[in-house]
Amino acid sequence: MSTNTLSRSLHDVGLAAWFGGTLANATALNPAAAEADSAQGTGAVANVGWDRWTPVNAAAIAAHLVGSIGMLASDAGRVSAQKGAGRTVVLKTGLTVAALGVTAYSRALGKRVSQQTAVPAESGTEPSAHTPSDVAAAQRQLKLLQWAVPALTGALVVLSAQAGEEQRPATLLEGVTAKFPGLA
């Protein structure tokens, strides 16, 4: 496997897991936790599920970052020579930083929630009347943030498709000749 294939694979598989796992947890785990037989059970199911996902998510993010760095290293010449390619790299980097920030903040809130494994809750992101106030505040924030990570990583998937399109031979030639008009 070439370095570029390995880098692309790490980039894509890591991003797919980061996106898909957080989307699955937002659409399935958090609401499904409400099916537990008690409010404490609801909190326990959501907390255990998210705590189990955390190391997998960390590995996915690490794979994505390693792959991204490898791809950028192998594409550095093309990025500097092709009109528009640098803009795509800047956008992808900005979205990645935003997704990392939201993920880290969400995890910090999640740790606050899961400190009491069986904290009473209506769902993974809905406090009950008996939820401690600090946990309830974190859950209310997580209710919004659970959608931010899949939105940001989904946008990264789209930008990755755009970056792939920029590498088509016709697009590459067009981008280089646009940047260096004397080559046309």
Query: Is the residue at 182 inside a domain?
Result: no
- Please report the pLDDT score of residue 152 as a whole number: 98
| Dihedral, CA of residue 30, residue 32, residue 37 and residue 39, to nearest 10 | 20
Report yes or no on 134 lying in a domain.
yes
| pLDDT, tens only, 28-40 | 998 999 899 998 8
Give pLDDT tens digits for 72-99. Answer: 998 888 788 878 888 989 999 999 999 9
Residue 76: inside a domain, yes or no?
Answer: yes
Assess if residue 184 is contained within a domain.
Answer: no
Total domains in the chain come to 1
Domain containing residue 150: 3-176
Residue 115 lies in a domain: yes
Q: Establish if 81 belongs to a structural domain.
A: yes
Distances from the Cα of 135 to the Cαs of 16, 53, 118, 124, 132, in angstroms?
30, 20, 12, 11, 5
Residue 183 falls inside a structural domain: no
- Asked if the structure places residue 104 within a domain, the reply is yes
